[in-house]
Structure 1
Amino acid sequence: MQFEYFLSPDDETAAASVDGRPVHATVRSQVVDPASVLGQLERLLGARRDDDGLLSAQMIAESEDGARLVIRLSAHVLSLYAKVQPDTVKLLVDQWALSRRFRRGGAAGEDLYSFAAGLHGMCRAGQGGVYCRATADASEMTEPPAPSPESMVQARTEDGVLRPLPRRA
């Protein structure tokens, strides 16, 4: 998967990017998916650890072929991350990098510090919302999409509705 985080003034404008058109001011990652890995950052920022649902993301659009999703990061995670002082982002990322996803080597070759600094800048910008466009690569599209309930993460929307987002294996 390729994850592109970007700023957009509203859900409708962000959802239009599901067709693959270029998005501006992106921070890219192949590891930091908004459904689970960003939820780990959210917990480090002070979200309750006993919460069954992540507050970090909500899917707002899906392409017809299922190859792309557009996901809105919650105001909760944006607010928490924006409050972090720039000089303490490295310390936060040091802790985040200890998570299982990064320890397993899934972040090899990816600069987590650069990603975190870019995302932090977006959160502090306060210009609309921060969104993520997740794009599957060709090999993921050839595999049968049959996620089991335990491979799904529930993302809690701001109005309390739970919505499933695919979790990477």
Structure 2
Amino acid sequence: MRFEYFAAPDDETAALTIDGGEIDGAVASHVVDPASVLGQLERLLGGPRGDDGLRSAQLVAESPDGARLLIRLSNHLVTLFGMVRPTTLDDVVKHWSLSRRFRRAEPEDLHAFAAGLHELCKGPGKRVYCRATADESELAAVMAPAATVPASAPDATDANPDPVEPKPLPRRR
């Protein structure tokens, strides 16, 4: 997935980016998933401990082909991260980078992303959004035709379904 974070005044303006065109001033990442990784950042900044991250982001729009999602970051997260002082941003990123989700990310890339997101969160009167775009390989896997299931195969409600039935996509963790 490719995640592009940007600021916009409202949901309607942000939804205009669902077509996949360039977004001015966007901060991009392949590892900072708004529904889970930003939840970790919110907890680090003093957000709710029992939250699984899904309160940190809300779906606003989806492209007709399902290749792109538009997600609004919570006002709480934006406010918390926008209040981080530049002198403590390094410490925040250092602690955030301890997450197992970042084990393949370069520390410099995470710091550059965090600095860019921090600037977006400091902007007055705007909301922060993320456009998540599926990679071509992810789209190909989803769009591939399902295997033909014989008429005598058990249906999805059976306790032991046929292994050729397509499985749902796993939730990113």
| Fold agreement, TM-score > 0.5 | yes
Structure 1 residue 20, shift from structure 2 partner: 1.0
Bigger strand fraction = 1
Structure 1 residue 127, shift from structure 2 partner: 3.6
Q: Percent identity?
A: 58
Q: How many residues align?
A: 149
Q: Which has the higher contact order (CA 8 A, sep 6+)?
A: 1
Which residue does the alignment assign to 1:129? 127
Provide the rounded CA distance (Å) in 2 between the counterparts of 1:13 and 1:6.
11
Which residue does the alignment assign to 1:74? 74
Q: Is 2:39 the partner of 1:17?
A: no
Structure 1 residue 142, shift from structure 2 partner: 1.3
Structure 1 residue 100, shift from structure 2 partner: 1.1
Deviations 1:2-42 (A, max 9, x none): 11101111100101110112211110000001011111111
- Using the size of structure 1 for normalisation, the TM-score is 0.82
Q: Larger Cα Rg: Structure 1 or Structure 2?
A: 2
Give the conservation status (yes or no) of the 8 Å contact 2:35–2:57. Answer: yes
**Residue identity matched to 2:99:** S
Which residue does the alignment assign to 2:142? 144
SS where residue 119 of structure 1 aligns? helix
Which residue does the alignment assign to 1:99? 99
Deviations 1:71-129 (A, max 9, x none): 001101001111111110010000000011013x2x14861001000100110112411
Give the conservation status (yes or no) of the 8 Å contact 2:35–2:53. Answer: no
Provide the rounded CA distance (Å) in 2 between the counterparts of 1:110 and 1:89.
13
Give the conservation status (yes or no) of the 8 Å contact 1:79–1:123. Answer: yes
Give the conservation status (yes or no) of the 8 Å contact 1:55–1:77. Answer: no
Provide the rounded CA distance (Å) in 2 between the counterparts of 1:65 and 1:52.
28
